Amino acid sequence: MDKKALIEALNKDIENEHGAIVQYLTHAYAIGEGEMACELEAIAREEMRHLDWLAEAVVEMGGTPSLQRGHTRMGGGSVQEWMKNDVLLEEDGMTPYREQVAQVDDPKLKRLLKRILADEESHHADFQHFVEKSARESMTDQRGTLDDRTVEILNWGIEHEYTVILQYLFHSYMATDHEVQEQLQDQAINEMQHLGWLAEKLIDIGSSPRIEHTEIDKSVDMKQMLTADISIENVVAKRYDEATKELQDAKIVKLLSRIRDQEVYHSEVFQDLLAELKKERGSA
Ligand SMILES: [Fe+2]
Ligand SMILES: [Fe+2]
Ligand SMILES: [Fe+2]
């Protein structure tokens, strides 16, 4: 495989991992609290690591990681059908990895693809087990249809969090300074926590999380990316703050206040990085 085809193939893998993360998280949130939800979230976290490793490989080869959400199998009228769809999604993902392991010559990349394939085989077995378990334990969809101002705000929060997760990951892959990369990755992980808290709260109050994102800043210059990241943090910190004043539910206000404080922290971290960068480059 030539370099261009290989980058394209790895980007397709990244897209598939992205789709799998969203599908498994959707299922985890929808079945509510419990052991199986935790296991689904743990699998989604492994897919995030795959995405991360593949994105780094793409950048190492001079490519740009894709931010598209790939193929999913979101249908299914019962938890058991969802688990069957998760089994199938793992099968969809394993096929290209098997082909790539056979085709790739570079020993480091081959080892990485083998490692990911082994993880997918393990997930495949886990999901087969969950097909049985969900039926045995008569698990049901815990999502409700409540649709009010609180739901609107929490889903706005999810949309924002999902957007910045992708944006900070993308910026971290394209950044050339180690400290900037580290901080962007760290804050992206924190934004994943925010997304999880908001989604769980939505299930809690009898509604359903909507996992969609808005436009992502794709700057590749570190000054430009940090400027965009500071700007989005300041805007959302203000919106979360307004929401804490608008809503009445004490637990929700506490949750949104905590997220707001962390957004302010993110903004300050990014401001420090930008100031350092400007000092190093000797220009404003
Ligand atoms: Fe994966
Ligand atoms: Fe956040
Ligand atoms: Fe943030």
**d(CA 31, ligand 3 centre) in Å:** 27
Q: Are 109 and 152 in the same domain?
A: no
Q: Which of 179, 192, 218 is nearest to 51 (CA)?
A: 192
**d(CA 128, ligand 1 centre) in Å:** 16
Please give the radius of gyration of the chain, using alpha carbons only, rounded to the nearest integer: 20
Q: How many domains does the chain have?
A: 2
**d(CA 170, ligand 1 centre) in Å:** 18
Q: Are 49 and 154 in the same domain?
A: no
Q: What is the pLDDT of residues 96-120, one digit of tens each?
A: 999 999 999 999 999 999 999 999 9
State which residues have CB under 5 angstroms from ligand 3, the bound ion. 233, 263, 266
CB 209 within 8 A of CB 202: yes
pLDDT for position 281: 85
pLDDT for position 23: 98
Q: Give the residue from 95, 127, 142 where a domain finishes.
A: 142
pLDDT for position 282: 79
Q: Are 129 and 181 in the same domain?
A: no
**d(CA 251, ligand 2 centre) in Å:** 17
Q: Give the residue from 96, 123, 142 where a domain finishes.
A: 142
Confidence category of residue 283, pLDDT binned at 50, 70, 90: low
| Domain span including residue 191 | 144-284
**d(CA 259, ligand 3 centre) in Å:** 8
Q: Are 135 and 252 in the same domain?
A: no
Q: What is the pLDDT of residues 44-98, one digit of tens each?
A: 999 999 999 999 999 999 999 999 999 999 999 999 999 999 999 999 999 999 9
Q: What is the pLDDT of residues 220-256, one digit of tens each?
A: 999 999 999 999 999 999 999 999 999 999 999 999 9
Q: Are 182 and 74 in the same domain?
A: no
Task: State pTM to two decimals.
Answer: 0.96
Q: Are 107 and 174 in the same domain?
A: no
DSSP for 145-156? Answer: ---SHHHHHHHH
The domain that holds 126 is classified in CATH as 1.20.1260.10
Two tokens, residue 138: 């008569």
The span from the CA of 19 to the CA of 23, in Å, is 6
Two tokens, residue 119: 């993880």
**d(CA 264, ligand 3 centre) in Å:** 7
DSSP single-letter state for residue 137: T
Q: Are 24 and 154 in the same domain?
A: no
Q: Give the residue from 117, 142, 167 where a domain finishes.
A: 142
The ligand minimizing its distance to the Cα of 158 is 2
- What b/e sequence results for 268-277 when a residue is b if at least 16 CB atoms lie within 10 Å of its CB, and e otherwise? ebbbebbeeb
